[in-house]
Amino acid sequence: MPALKPTQPPARIHIQYAQPTVDAGRYPAKRTVGDRVHVSCDVFRDGHDLLRAVVRAQPPGGGEWIESELHAVDAHHKGVRWEGSFVVDRMGRWTWTVQGWTDQFATWRDEFQRKLEGGQEDLSGELSEGLVLLRETAGRATETGDKRIIEHALDLLDDADVPPAAKYDTALGHELFAAMERNAARHGAATLDPPVQLQVERERARFGAWYELFPRSFGGLRGVQEQLPRLRELGFDILYLPPVHPIGLTNRKGRNNTLVAGESDPGSPWAIGDATGGHDGVHPELGTHDDVRALCAAAAEHGIDIALDLAIQTSPDHPWLKEHPEWFLQRPDGTLKYAENPPKKYQDIYNLNWDTADWEALWHELRRITLLWVELGVKVFRVDNPHTKPIPFWEWLIKEVHAVDADIVFLAEAFTRRAMMRQLAKVGFTQGYTYFTWKNSRFELTEYVDELAWGPEREYFRPNFFTNTPDILNEYLVHGGPAAFYTRFTLAATLSPTYGIYSGYEWYENTPVREGSEEYMDSEKYEAKERALDGPMLPYIQRMNQIRRENPALQHLSNVGWLDTYNDQVMAYLKQHGSNVIICAVNLDPHNAQEASVVVPHDLGLPSHFQVRDLFSGEAFAWHTGGNYVRLDPWTRQSHVLHVESL
């Protein structure tokens, strides 16, 4: 049986390789409110007809489509690649697509002009074709001015008494061309199908400064609340708390991760659950649900989000062990296997069985727990080891939570394979921990930041450059002394829009439990300390956070450019956003002074001579394109953060 004839011929325009997309549109790219989304794609057709194209964007909820013109940019490929942009002004899932069509009048006009320039004398046939296009468009024109221009051209071109030269001038007139373009039919229009999704989140998803502390070292939740004015003064945006739940007694760890706890040892907060409650409870020594609500509300008044650790694991005393034993893996002899990540052992923690036949009930219980904390005011979840849980679960849970509160930020603590880190970001995690902690040389840092800032990950993976964590004390900090802390902090805070520090960093804490270990001696994971926000590094941290807020160039990732220094111990880079330009030079050597010549290339758009001001010291320096001398030393100035002033 012959195929049915279509009502119209197939489209002759092809639209391909649209960007930004993730896995050919399987997952949305990510942006934040206020961003200008730059779009590109190939738009072409057979023959030599000229084309037009637009990007069409629809806000969340199915609002009216917004159109922006695309422009051909790749002259080498005869205008195949097109680019344009649109601005996203609200949160949620946006939809965008590209529409292209044949520009009949522009095609006619281009051919007419080439024939005229080629010396062809009789163009009456060509003018008759143009008259048809003018009549069609005049009937569609709604603006009085455009209609008048087109009809005037019709009168001239159709008047036998008008000389040919005058007709030619009229046909090629710029006003006529503009009027025709504004009212042209979209002949043979084709649309990118399927449309592309774009996830737009609040600014905090992209830019922010994290501070991590243990509530039990600050007098519980009410004691933490008392620190909020100081944290705001220091410029922190997110206050991250490890788990605040009851802690199990069975196999409780003692100080320095010993297997037997003393009578007064509080245990690890990640060993969640005892007879009084589990993931939905608050440790009685820390406070109550009301204290959590009060803390979150007070933090919001200071412009701070409270982040809570979401650790899906249990102590042997968690109520789930009795209520839902089917949620746990049992050995053939009936015993349970504690958590391990050799050589690390977690005798006080059990993992869940994600392949349980009762998986749906488990998923919904975890949804209930997460939304409980959302209802109490928690705005951010730092998710512990998400790479050891099913990815479909995270995709489902994040969507469920965002359906209730789109403001919620999810940070993936996944120091694991790059493929897994990427996939967690694709399915919805707002941010991810990174390998930054272990990248210390100029080559390593340049290579890694380039991957994050300029590779495919830039569309969906937002890095969080934590300088340290309760589990990670890098050997660079162990052996580098205070200067190393300034180096790593400056790199984290100026290279990444989002960074974090763990309490004690400002005191240069760097004693490992033993040589070669990344665990802290007298780790706060296993004992309560008496903390206060008064470390000697805090003035520098406070000023850095102020600098970050005042300079948009430091609030973005994919705007970094590396500057030669002729010294691998000095790392220099430039970040630019509009007219805001910041140049950083950092001494990677925590023990010795280093000299370098920071080379500013001629192709960055900077004048040949300009002034820079050190945003910490206030000193001004005359710089120029080419080499600029710097001297950095661990005792007086380990880095420059320079604002380019005279542009």
Catalytic residues: 384, 413
* Residue 496 identity (one-letter amino acid): S
Question: Are the C-beta atoms of 582 and 558 separated by less than 8 Å?
Answer: no
Kind and range of the H or E run holding 374: helix 359-376
* Sequence-ordered list of residues with C-beta below 8 angstroms from that of 217, at least 6 positions apart, any chain: 503, 524, 528, 529, 530, 531
Question: Are the C-beta atoms of 228 and 254 separated by less than 8 Å?
Answer: no
* Residue 239 identity (one-letter amino acid): L
Sign of the C-alpha dihedral computed for residues 371, 373, 377 and 378 taken in this order: negative
Helix pair 124-140, 104-117: axis angle to 10 deg: 150
What is the tally of helices (H) and strands (E) in the chain?
15, 28
Question: Are the C-beta atoms of 327 and 320 separated by less than 8 Å?
Answer: yes
Sign of the C-alpha dihedral computed for residues 629, 632, 636 and 639 taken in this order: positive
Helix pair 174-183, 144-157: axis angle to 10 deg: 120
Question: Are the C-beta atoms of 300 and 346 separated by less than 8 Å?
Answer: no
Query: Residue 395: is it exposed, middle or buried by C-beta count within 10 angstroms (0-12/13-18/19+)?
Result: middle
* Sequence-ordered list of residues with C-beta below 8 angstroms from that of 541, at least 6 positions apart, any chain: 234, 235, 489, 501, 506
* Sequence-ordered list of residues with C-beta below 8 angstroms from that of 245, at least 6 positions apart, any chain: 269, 272, 273, 277, 278, 279, 280, 281, 282, 283
The residue among 181, 155, 108, 158 whose CA lies nearest residue 116 is: 108
Long-range contacts of 187-190 (CB under 8 A, 24+ apart): 187/101, 187/102, 187/103, 187/104, 188/11, 188/12, 188/13, 188/45, 188/101, 188/102, 189/11, 189/13, 189/99, 189/100, 189/101, 190/11, 190/12, 190/13, 190/14, 190/15, 190/99, 190/100, 190/101
Residue 479 CB coordination number (10 Å): 11
The residue among 512, 469, 454, 487 whose CA lies nearest residue 591 is: 487
Give dist(CA 496, CA 208) in Å, integer.
10
| The pair of three-digit structure tokens given for residue 50, joined into one six-digit string | 């000229």
What would the DSSP string read from start to end of 450-471? HHHHHSGGGGT--EEEES-BTT
Q: What is the DSSP-derived secondary structure letter of residue 584?
A: E
Judged by DSSP in three states, 391 sits in helix
> For residue 483, how many C-alpha atoms fall within 13 Å in the half-sphere facing its CB?
19
Query: Residue 369: is it exposed, middle or buried by C-beta count within 10 angstroms (0-12/13-18/19+)?
Result: middle
Question: Are the C-beta atoms of 192 and 166 separated by less than 8 Å?
Answer: no
Query: For the chain, how many residues are written?
Result: 647
CA distances from 367 to 138, 202, 318 (A): 59, 22, 18
CA distances from 429 to 224, 392, 398, 443 (A): 27, 12, 8, 28
